Structure 1
Amino acid sequence: MSQQKNTYVSYDVKNIPNDWLTNKDILNKINMCINKIQCSKGRQFEVDKLYDNFVEILHSEMNNKLESKVKVLNSTNNRKRRIKKPWWNDNLTNKWNNVCMAENDYVTCKQGTLKQQLRKHFVDKRKDFDRLTQKYKRQYWYRCLEELVNFNDNDPKQFWRRIGQTGIGNESQICIPNEVTLDDGTISNNLETILSKWKKQFSQFIEPKYKETTIDEVHKVVMNAKNCKSAGIDLIQAELCKNISIISILHKLFNLCFSSGNVPNMWNKGIITPIPKCSTSDPRDPLSYRGITLAPFAYKMYCSILNERLVKWLDEMEIVNDEQNGFMNDRSTIDHISTTTSIIETRKKM
């Protein structure tokens, strides 16, 4: 049981064979899965069973067609020691090993005179390692600066990708008042009136009219999904789903989920991977890490379709103000920053 919890299977999705999902037995299973989805009433246990069947079909093909290996969690046997810094190289590794050996000789030595000599030797090795580290670090940042200048002239999209992520400011929380504005313009704080107003306003959204998801929508989001991304709890990655048979299953499954309001319970589960917030944080402090959730691929595709529909609806209804630049396609907050800077500079000259 312990071994089962501490291991997982990794599949080589970079080398998908040409006969992927072409076997007659697999195609028959896919068609049966599609038929079951079409006949389903969308109850929760049915949705769960259908998605488990879909995952089972893919896993069967993955085990037969893809190379795999069992990896051990928290083990150094899976790969070489991970390089934490981008400027790290083999020369620094050798220097660091020399520092560690010198430190070990100094710590374990019991003779007073020899211990002083070993301490001096250890300090010299450490200083030599520090000087070399700073040298490679400066060279690395200089190369990065040259790349940024080049990207800024030739590839602005890559330029901003390399700049990195910016911090998120603190957002103030707005409390919902226990009052509502009535149709005649007056304000009421009566609890029954408030509940009645809220129910009336939102009741029209309980069973909204909708159009079924088209096969083109599913095809678009699946084919545009980025490759080489970590899999969720179902071990399914984007590369495995870029096939017309799988897209057909997802198309039927998404429509079933949307019409019934039920999604597979597996979509509610994710693998949380702790990512260090910064290199200077204490690695022993759990709060020094930011949790990144690896969600199932099908769930992310379903959300992408809903998001595109919401964005389109917001544009058609003109709900989003024209001043909104953040998180908008083909727009950037740089325009706001430039305008604000210009106003400040103009005011300073007045």
Structure 2
Amino acid sequence: MSAKESLGYYGQKKHKPWFDEGCSKSLDQRNQAKLQWLQDPSELNGDNLNNIRRETSRHFRNKKREYLKDKIDELAMNSKNTNIRDLYGGINDFKRGYQPSSNLVKDENCHLLADSHNILNRWRIHFSQLLNVHRVSDVRQIEIHTAEPLVPHPNKRYKSPGSDQIPAELIQAGGEILRSKIHKLITSIWHKEKLPDQWKESIIIPVHKKGDKTDCSNYRGISLLSTSYKIVSNILLSRLSPYIDEITNELYPLNC
């Protein structure tokens, strides 16, 4: 059984988490009362609509107050238990509030693009210009022993998966059976000397920094790679790291 069938996906956060089934029923009653008043704008139907509107608004306010109280209690509990991640996440949610999302971007001539095909093509051009830069660099100027690793540590959690949609937590919890499967996959790749096509794909997520949200230059791109590929990369890095300084010193000895 696949992870999708056994575990499913995380649900998206709702814009109004406090909006429950009771709120939905109150909203339906208000809409029904308004429809009845539009069909027969009598004084009786008008009074009924106003009363239901007041009751619906009161019900919404009470639900929102209950939700905010629960969130404040949750923040206090996270602070008491030193659950820093959830504490700061909740505080940031309060600070940001609701922010409507927009996919509109500007082209090279500052004209807004609304068509999805043109928007995707604009992002493709933007990141191609950033990533596909042809330049010659002197290898001797690179400080290999102090360079930051390009792949996050495999034990880090809460990382977005790549095109395989497999989070690192799933592999960590897979046990010996899953590790054996991954080992067979890596062994097969090593003998065939060919990576799976999916490992060559990278999903680029634009993250807004500041400024105009329709300007592509105000975003930084985050590349999401396959989790299995990152495991192999970390294995190779750990195997090669002890030899890097030795090989570098032989190729480019320091002048004494």
TM-score, with structure 1 as normaliser: 0.36
TM-score, with structure 2 as normaliser: 0.46
Work out which structure has the larger RCO, using CA pairs closer than 8 Å and 6 or more positions apart in sequence: 1
Greater gyration radius = 1
